Chain A
Amino acid sequence: MIEYLTSQTFLLMILKMLIVFGGLMGAFAYLSLVERRVMAFVQMRPGPNRVGPFGLLQPIADGLKFLFKEQVRPTGANEWLYLIAPLISLVPALLSFAVIPFGPALQVTDLNVALLVVFAVGSLSVYGIVLGGWASNSKYPLIASMRSSAQMISYELSLTLSVVGVLMLANTLSLVKLVESQEGMWFGFIPKWNIFFQPVAFIIYMIAATAETNRLPFDLAESEQELVSGWHTEYSGMKFAMYMIAEYGNLTATVCIATILFFGGWNGPSFGPDWLRLILPTIWFVLKIAVFIFIYVLARSTVPRIRYDQLMRFGWKYMLPIALANILITSFLVAIS
């Protein structure tokens, strides 16, 4: 036991965990700033620019404010469920990063079912929203959590089915092997990314992932015009911050999976001295994620929210049949080639 705890593999794993966890926490803090600033620019207003140069110290100010806020519990709220619901939301959101490869050297653990682990953990994150809304003993959060549970189940089907086509092409469930299967170029300049084989799957995945992460135009669970602030109306201080971190965590995790499945993960041009070659894959990966997140932020500031019946009809009558047809056609093509 002691030998294992002092062995090199264990210490290396701890180091990787610290890098991934610390990097993500910093990224989430600044994601809130990026989101507010970019949305402000789209709407032609300055956004938060008072704290530090260009508002760069805003996340620190926010964090301090969250820490020192008085803890309020609504009357009649369920005592311990109200307390642990943000945790139930946060833990799955961070857990999925344990299997996501940020580069050939930077992955906490590799499993042969890593992709399914991400989906499994993501399917648990709905309980944080549902229980938080229920435990608040307030009508708007309750409506939000009911909507959310129905929405999550409906779109989880299309989300999981959309990746089956890619899995049939790559013939593996391991995220590292999925990235490695997309190495190389055609004619020297077109990268061998799965997006060129599976464009329909990519569109289905992105729409379903938007619904799963409760982002506009699918943020029926939050919809501030009807439901105040949705399931976290009654939350403030650090508990509210946990929900925010969980939201950004889920967003980043789905974007990571989209990059790995469709855009070649950490693949990219490699050059320069050895130390540069070591960190370049991670840089490519982070850049690809950043582009995706920027698109998500732009979508949030431009697209209107859809109605609840439209959401359900779209999920069951269009997304699901298209995802199933994509699987059928892909399996047919794989079988004849």
Chain B
Amino acid sequence: MIEAIFFLFAALAVGAAINVLVQKHVLYSALSLIVLLVSMSGLFILLEADFLAVINVIVYAGAIMVLFVFVIMLLNLPADEDGADRLRWLKFLGIPMALFLLFMILATLWNVGSETLVERQTAGTPEAIGRSLFTDYLLPFEVTSLLILIALMGAVVFAKKEL
């Protein structure tokens, strides 16, 4: 049962990820990205990480992607026909980047080893995540909040001509 659901969400995620790249119209790419995020949340739930799954949907699928779709519709972009030509040199940069990414994924998979997920079933609860955020990972957490605050102030400065 679990395996069937895993393969369903995994296939959906991979299919959507490929669709993000091959679609010519930017709105279809954005919609595929939403499908990808939601199916990733399904995979998180199978890993007993309910909190992460729900936050993934709220923040990325429910807020950030709505902004993406809003901007795409506001600009009313036509289907991208000759966009590839302008960025031709990026193609050559892409090959080493893809190889690097593949290496990173393989290295991570190699290091995971045989650690089972059953031992960490309580790691996905809101309490456990909150505790580790405010003890072990306090510095990264605070630095991230500072970064977001700076970005917020930057956005206000850009949006307002005179303050």
> CB distance A149 to B66 under 8 Å?
yes
Contact with B along A103-142 (1 / 0, CB 8 A): 0000000011100110111111011001100100000001
Q: Which residues of B have CB within 8 Å of A160?
A: 58
The one of B1, B61, B69 that contacts A149, using a Cβ cutoff of 8 Å: B69
A173 sits at the interface (CB 8 A): yes
Residues of B at the A interface (CB closer than 8 Å) are 1, 27, 31, 34, 38, 50-51, 54-55, 57-58, 61-63, 66-67, 69-70, 73-74, 125-126
The one of A116, A131, A142, A156 that contacts B54, using a Cβ cutoff of 8 Å: A116
> CB distance A1 to B1 under 8 Å?
yes
> CB distance A156 to B55 under 8 Å?
no
A150 sits at the interface (CB 8 A): yes
The one of A4, A117, A142, A152 that contacts B1, using a Cβ cutoff of 8 Å: A4
Q: Which residues of B have CB within 8 Å of A173?
A: 126
A153 sits at the interface (CB 8 A): yes
> CB distance B66 to A120 under 8 Å?
no
Q: A116-B54, A134-B27, A142-B73 are in contact. Are A126 and B126 (CB under 8 A)?
A: no
Give the shortest distance, in Å, between A60 (CB) and chain B (any CB).
35
Residues of A at the B interface (CB closer than 8 Å) are 1, 4, 111-113, 116-117, 119-124, 126-127, 130-131, 134, 142, 145-146, 149-150, 152-153, 156, 160, 173
> 26 A–B contact pairs at CB < 8 A?
A1-B1, A112-B50, A112-B125, A113-B51, A113-B54, A116-B51, A116-B54, A116-B58, A117-B54, A120-B54, A120-B57, A120-B61, A123-B58, A123-B63, A123-B66, A124-B38, A124-B57, A124-B61, A126-B66, A134-B27, A134-B73, A149-B66, A153-B66, A153-B70, A160-B58, A173-B126
Q: A112-B125, A146-B73, A149-B69 are in contact. Are A123 and B55 (CB under 8 A)?
A: no
